[in-house]
Chains A and B, each alone.
Chain A
Amino acid sequence: MNQSPNLNSYREGPDEDGRFGIFGGRFVAETLMPLILDLQDEWNKAKTDPAFQAELKHLGAHYIGRPSPLYYAERLTQHLGGAKIYFKREELNHTGSHKINNCIGQILLAKRMGKTRIIAETGAGQHGVASATVAARFGFPCVVYMGATDVERQAPNVFRMKLLGAEVRPVTAGHGTLKDAMNEALRDWVTNVEDTYYLIGTAAGPHPYPELVRDFQAVIGTEAREQMLEAEGRLPDMVVAAVGGGSNAIGIFHPFLDDKNVRIVGVEAGGKGLDGDEHCASLTAGSPGVLHGNRTYLLQDADGQIKEGHSISAGLDYPGIGPEHAWLHQIGRAEYVPIMDEEALEAFQLLTRLEGIIPALEPSHAIAEVIKRAPKMGKDQIILMNLSGRGDKDIFTVGKILGMEL
């Protein structure tokens, strides 16, 4: 239980029970236990199976478009007048975000396990689109659970999923956001255990999901580390990524965790501010609890009831966070900071104008943090940021807020 701060490596978790320190675990109904044990067995075999790794690599290169470029954001760097800013361009992946990395990996696992039906939950719709995409590519029927509020604010992605042949089931419980979609997906799974594979989109949930999602996303950081060494001959001083559940962040952070001179910064959704309930900053303003199969930091009241949270970005609108982030926060290896809705919106517009890249609202939070930090750093320093998704899906939301006619 006790975590030594002097670890030889920060990259060895989780333990065999799926714990990162006190976080993680397998808090699921008995009906699901045999399934997640099967998944763990299959994952352990796949990890070391050269054929599986080869197929993953092949699809990564030819279907997703890996490696994604490492891009020096020259105009943004000049504008801010401090550290050199590099983007890992995950928004250039097939389907427009990092989510596809994990979906390709998990659909191969589903196939190995002989499952015939895919379910997924989605917030912003990026994971839903990526799931619907791999389901189409591999010929699986696919049901995507999406909060009714998100269905409304992410209409383009809903349409994409439908075009791809997925059934989108709006969830009206609660506030109709990602948490409610995840509850509903778990209910589907517990009902259809025999044939269904639950394709979780973030590095959270019961063991082994946090581990396997991280491992499928770690390609981001592994590539970026090599690309940075090639471009600059050295590692960055800081790695920054937005954190909702935390899959893009853990993907870029993990390969850098043992590089002790690299600062790791996760950016949470500060929503309308941390004073009230309208934010999703689970690490900054939450406390440890148990939800959706794992122990992690949660937004909750004194009775242990989970709060709804709020973010302008549907993808960050989740009152919890992946357990490995909870652990990295607790031991102090990574720092987590909030960015408000308005700051993210400004960053969204600045990047669009300066670099000709329309980012998704999720990484716009990371950009906002870079905007704060870069000017305070020296010109010889380097920030690496994960540009995890593109903003096409968000133009209607942003247009509405800015009062533009579309």
Chain B
Amino acid sequence: MTARMDKRFADLAAEGRPALVTYFMGGDPDYASSLEIMKALPKAGSDVIELGMPFSDPMADGPAIQLAGQRALKGGQTLAKTLQMARDFRKDDDATPIVLMGYYNPIYIYGVERFLDEALEAGIDGLIVVDLPPEMDDELCLPALAKGINFIRLATPTTDDKRLPAVLKNTSGFVYYVSMNGITGSALPDPALIGGAVGRIKAHTKLPVCVGFGVKTAEHARAIGASADGVVVGTAIVNQIASSLTADGTASAATVAGVETLVMSLASGVRGARLAAAE
């Protein structure tokens, strides 16, 4: 499982381009449509998938992802179903790394051991749990690493050089650099500043550094991808899904197709990133 993630980043490094990491909310707006979206992502050019686990109180997320979580919960999504979605996806795709992203409480209630065993069996490669900083590593991070599941940590502009080693200590898979202090879906900061920050983190780790928060277009992806090992896009995809829904909130013919078009465009952005940087 760790091998799947490491191989993907090694292959991309050999190819000389950054990864496109795409986030969507599991179960938004319903299980079947959401699984179709997941299957469409790698075909449209996504290299790593972040599968969102809905939570009632997503304290670090902006309105778009909050609403997506509410739609998913209303559609009956649970942590068990999110794991099932990964299993269903793995029937056709055993190469694309899957990272589960969300908050701790549903995992805690599911039971950490049970969750990790089932995640491993479902083909999960990594976890991003927003409300578990290094100070809380005993809860989930260390048990996950012991089972061979990557624990991907967020580093932020407030993570200074003094704190960075602690943040990186038990991080594996990749480092997720949050480009700004704030919630998901905010405006993209200056790519030059981000480039500096990526360099600062890379001085402390050999892990790939992916950048997210604020990336919405192929242009953004190209600019960020010039310095980062990966570009994370979440809110733009979630917004695309939201805008495709019918008046009563159900999926339409445009739901999966819209995501495909957006991701293909973003994929062209990351594929041009190093060319742009070389110019």
Interface, chain A (partner B; CB < 8 A)? 17, 25-35, 173-174, 179, 183, 186-187, 190-194, 289-293, 298, 300, 302-306
Contact = CB atoms under 8 A, between A and B. Distances in A.
Given A290-B104, A303-B78, A31 B181 contact: yes
B44 interface: no
Interface in B101-138: 103-110, 130-136
Contact of B182 (A183, A190, A293, A306): A190
Contacts of B110: 303-304
Contacts of A306: 56-57, 105
A290 B105 contact: yes
A289 B112 CA distance: 12
A136 B186 CA distance: 31
Interface residues of B, number: 43
A159 to B, nearest CB: 28
Contacts of B94: none
Given A30-B133, A291-B105, A306-B105, A179 B167 contact: no
Contacts, number: 113
15 contacts: A26-B136, A27-B131, A30-B153, A30-B156, A31-B60, A31-B154, A34-B158, A34-B160, A174-B57, A183-B57, A186-B59, A191-B181, A289-B105, A298-B105, A304-B109
B183 interface: yes
Given A30-B158, A190-B60, A305-B73, 16 more contacts: A17-B135, A26-B136, A28-B133, A29-B131, A31-B178, A34-B159, A34-B160, A183-B57, A186-B60, A187-B60, A191-B183, A193-B158, A292-B57, A293-B131, A304-B108, A305-B106
A305 B76 CA distance: 12
Given A183-B57, A304-B107, A305-B55, A30 B181 contact: no
Given A34-B158, A34-B159, A302-B109, A29 B60 contact: yes
Interface string B9-51: 0000000000000000000000000000000000000000000
Nearest to B176: A30
A305 B109 CA distance: 9
A30 B109 contact: no
Contacts of A291: 57, 105
B132 A27 contact: yes
A191 B59 CA distance: 11
Interface string B72-116: 010000111000000000000000000000011111111000000
Interface string B182-216: 11001000000000000000000000000000000
Nearest to A302: B109
B158 A28 contact: no
Contacts of A187: 59-60, 62, 183
B57 A30 contact: no
User: B59, B160, B178: which has the most chain A beta carbons within 10 Å?
Assistant: B59
Given A28-B131, A290-B131, A303 B156 contact: no
B169 interface: no
Nearest to A307: B56
Contacts of A32: 158
B66 interface: yes
User: A289, A291, A293: which has the most chain B beta carbons within 10 Å?
Assistant: A291
B108 A191 contact: no
A379 to B, nearest CB: 48
B56 A35 contact: no
Contacts of B107: 304
A193 B181 contact: yes
Interface of B: 54-60, 62, 66, 73, 78-80, 103-110, 130-136, 153-160, 163, 167, 178, 181-183, 186
Given A29-B131, A304-B109, A179 B57 contact: yes
B59 A292 contact: yes
B181 A192 contact: yes
B85 to A, nearest CB: 15
B158 A35 contact: yes
Contacts of A186: 59-60
User: B78, B79, B131, B132: which has the most chain A beta carbons within 10 Å?
Assistant: B131
A191 B56 contact: no
Contacts of A190: 59-60, 181-183
Contacts of A293: 131
Nearest to A186: B59
A173 B55 CA distance: 13
B163 to A, nearest CB: 6
A33 B135 contact: yes
A32 B183 CA distance: 12
A20 B206 CA distance: 38
B51 to A, nearest CB: 16
Contacts of B163: 33-34
A192 B167 CA distance: 21
Contacts of A191: 181-183, 186
Contacts of A304: 55, 79, 105-110
Contacts of B57: 174, 179, 183, 291-292, 306
A171 B194 CA distance: 32
Given A304-B79, A306-B56, A31 B158 contact: yes
B68 to A, nearest CB: 13
A30 B106 CA distance: 19
Nearest to A308: B56
A21 B54 CA distance: 29
Contacts of B56: 174, 305-306
Contacts of B135: 17, 25-26, 33
A30 B136 contact: no
A179 B55 CA distance: 14
B258 to A, nearest CB: 25
A190 B159 CA distance: 13
A320 B225 CA distance: 42
